[in-house]
Amino acid sequence: MAEENLNRYAASLLISLLIVLASLFVSSPVVGSYLQLEEKLEESEIPSAEFVDQLPEPQTARQYWLLSQVTEELSLALERVEKAVEKAEDDWIAYFDDWLQMNLLGFQGDNEFFVDHLVKLLESEKKPDTAVFLRAGRVAEEQQLYSHARELYEEAYRMSDNYQLKLKLARVLLQLGKLEQADRLLEDYFLSGVEEQRPDYWLIRGEFYELSGADTDAYLAYSHLVDNYPEALLVVEAEKRIERLGDMEGLDRLSDRRVARQKSLLEKPHYRVQVGAFRRRSEAETKKQNLLPGPEEMVLITEAEVNGQLFYRVQVVTGAERSTAQNYLKKLSERGLDGFIVHVD
């Protein structure tokens, strides 16, 4: 009996300890504060200056990004991360990966710093996982360093043998004017039977045809994407290219459908995904132009005053269902981008 009571007492102590630890974790100022900030942003609530001032120092790229939605006092954020990269020895790649993620979230890093560490990354004997090379490739593409992007994607492909990387390589090769090599990669991907990222294939295939002077084939490729993958993120880009090719019948059809859908959607409660907030409207316009819109084909720039500062928020309208916004957010994440969901009544 004494042993049984002792066991019960020990179990009770263990449960109490777990409850205390759990409460400490939930009330952690770093986790809780940034979770609260995200909740406020999702509900379109303007956080007070006192709330923002009490936020702890950001520790992750995600926290830096959330804070950038309500304050501009982040000009030194990348500089601090760059210094951490320089000071680190064995774990410098982890800090460099943070730098890459911050760039993909909208922070503009130093081009020379990036190139120097790309070389170091490619020559390093201790290789990081494939995701680091993919993020570095994305940043290289955004900075139009296509030769470096090609090296990074080729290294990632050697590590993973992933057929989807053929599409990234083909896209970069088109920018480098290597049409024959891009064509071979696209053909290999198509014949592989891989279904994932098929919309990407048809968009890149259309671009190949345009660069080759085959506008009719380009139109057919873009139309195939629009007709067969209506919910794909790339649909609106394909439609823009169809318009650019000048098919008036197709233009009228796309325009009528788009206007009717947008008008109907904005008149009802719906969800949006906010992908950035900027002090300058020109920066918001640039973000809007470079963004792949959601299924509802609508990117809005809205104004909001936060603690006396005017911000231009870039928001993608995704539809009446929260699940659609969540799916779009997931696809953004797969492309190395970030955002949060906003509900509009």
Residue type, 205: R
- More confidently predicted of 157 and 29: 157
What is the per-residue pLDDT across 172-185, written as a single tens digit (0 to 9) for each?
999 999 999 999 89
Read off the tokens for 83: 């210094």
Is residue 253 pLDDT above 90, yes or no?
Answer: no
Residue 140 · residue 152 · CB < 8 Å: yes
pLDDT score at 29: 41
The backbone torsions φ and ψ at residue 307, rounded to the nearest 5 degrees and listed phi first, read 50, 45
pLDDT score at 171: 93
Residue 203 pLDDT level (bands cut at 50, 70, 90): very high
Render the burial of 274-285: b for 16+ CB within 10 Å, e for the rest.
Answer: bbbbbeeeebbe
Residue with tokens 């008008």: 263
Residue 103 · residue 139 · CB < 8 Å: yes
Neighbour count for residue 146 (Cβ, 10 Å) = 19
The secondary structure of the chain in percent helix, strand, coil, rounded to multiples of 5, reads 65, 10, 25
- Exposed (0-12), middle (13-18) or buried (19+): which is 236, by Cβ within 10 Å? buried
Highest-confidence segment of 62-76, 174-188, 226-240: 174-188
Residue with tokens 């969901």: 341
pTM above 0.85, yes or no: no
Instruction: For residues 123-134, give the mean pLDDT.
Output: 84
Instruction: For residues 121-126, give the mean pLDDT.
Output: 83
pLDDT score at 193: 67
Is residue 109 pLDDT above 60, yes or no?
Answer: yes
Is residue 236 pLDDT above 80, yes or no?
Answer: yes
Residue type, 191: L
Share of the chain above pLDDT 90, in %: 9
- Exposed (0-12), middle (13-18) or buried (19+): which is 29, by Cβ within 10 Å? exposed
Residue 166 to residue 217: CA distance in whole angstroms? 21
Structural domains in the chain plus CATH codes? 197-267 (no CATH), 268-345 (3.30.70.1070)
Residue 25 pLDDT level (bands cut at 50, 70, 90): very low
Residue with tokens 């990234």: 168
Q: Which residues pair with 313 in a beta bridge?
A: 277, 302
Is residue 289 pLDDT above 80, yes or no?
Answer: no
pLDDT score at 23: 43
264: helix, coil or strand? Answer: helix
Highest-confidence segment of 14-28, 247-261, 293-307: 293-307
- More confidently predicted of 59 and 242: 242
Neighbour count for residue 205 (Cβ, 10 Å) = 25
pLDDT score at 32: 52
44 dihedral zone (left: phi>0; alpha: psi -120 to 50; beta): left
96: helix, coil or strand? Answer: helix
